[in-house]
Amino acid sequence: MIEFVLNGRGRRVRVPPMKRLLDVLREDCSLPGTKEGCGEGECGACSVLLDGRTVCSCLVPVVQVRGARVVTVEGLDRGGRPSALQRAFIDLGAAQCGICTPGMLVTAAELLRHARGRVPSEEEVREALAGNLCRCTGYQKIVDAVRAAARGASRDGAAGTSGARAPGRSRAGTARAKRSRTARTKRSRRRG
C-alpha cells in the first residue's frame, strides 16, 4: 500500500512498487489527463509536480512518491474554474492538439510559482519549457500564454496557479528545482 497526496487529497493505492507513476495515475487513480508521449523522459507530456517540482512521471516508480504531494493537470484549476494559466492557454491559442498541454501547464505552473509574481522573460520561459516537446504550436503561443498568465497574476496580486498546492518554497527547494530545470534543458539541447 502506497499513500500520497494527489491534487490535495490523500490517496492510497495497492500496486507493485515499481509501477510507473504515470500508469498509477492513469489506471489506478483514473486521472488520464497525464499523457505518455515517449516513455523515456524526453517529451515531457507526462510531467507532474512532485513536491512542487516537475518530474516525468514515466520515469518515477510509484514507490518514490510515498508520502509526497503529487499535482497533475486535473489539480491545476481553481475550485472547478480554470486558473489564469489555463485561461491564457485557451485565449492565446497555446493548446492546439492538446496532447502536450497537460505537461506544459504543469511545468509552467512550477515556473510561475517560482517567479512569485514576477513576469519571467521570454528566454526564461523558453528555458523552463525546453523539456516539454510540442509539435503543433512552434512554442510562441505557449510562451506568450505563460507570460500573459504571469502578468495577470502579478496584476491580481494572486498566484496564477493555485493548483500547485505545494507549500511555500524554501531557498533550497528553489535551487533544487532550478537545477532540475537546467538538467532538462541540457537534455533537450542534445544533438544527434
Contact pick of 54, 132, 161, 162 for another protein (by CB under 8 A): 132
Check if the beta carbon of residue 159 is closer than 8 Å to that of residue 113: yes
Distance CA 151, CA 117 (A): 8
- By the rule CB under 8 A, 36 interacts with another protein: yes
Residues of this chain, 154-173, that bind another protein according to CB under 8 A: none
Distance CA 35, CA 83 (A): 20
Residue 34 or 114: the one with the smaller Cβ distance to another protein is 34
Distance CA 75, CA 139 (A): 23
- By the rule CB under 8 A, 19 interacts with another protein: no
- By the rule CB under 8 A, 90 interacts with another protein: yes
- Calculated CA dihedral for residues 110, 112, 115, 119, nearest 10 degrees: 150
Check if the beta carbon of residue 53 is closer than 8 Å to that of residue 180: yes
Residue 74 or 173: the one with the smaller Cβ distance to another protein is 74
**C-alpha cell read off for 76:** 491545476
- By the rule CB under 8 A, 122 interacts with another protein: yes
Judged by CB under 8 A, the stretch of 63-71, 86-94, 112-120, 171-179 that binds another protein is: 86-94
- By the rule CB under 8 A, 127 interacts with another protein: yes
- By the rule CB under 8 A, 115 interacts with another protein: no
Closest CA to 161 of 33, 8, 2, 3: 8
Distance CA 114, CA 127 (A): 14
- By the rule CB under 8 A, 191 interacts with another protein: yes
Q: Which residues bind another protein (CB under 8 A)?
A: 26, 31-40, 42-43, 45, 72-74, 76-77, 82, 86, 89-93, 95-102, 105, 122, 125-127, 129-144, 148, 185, 188-192
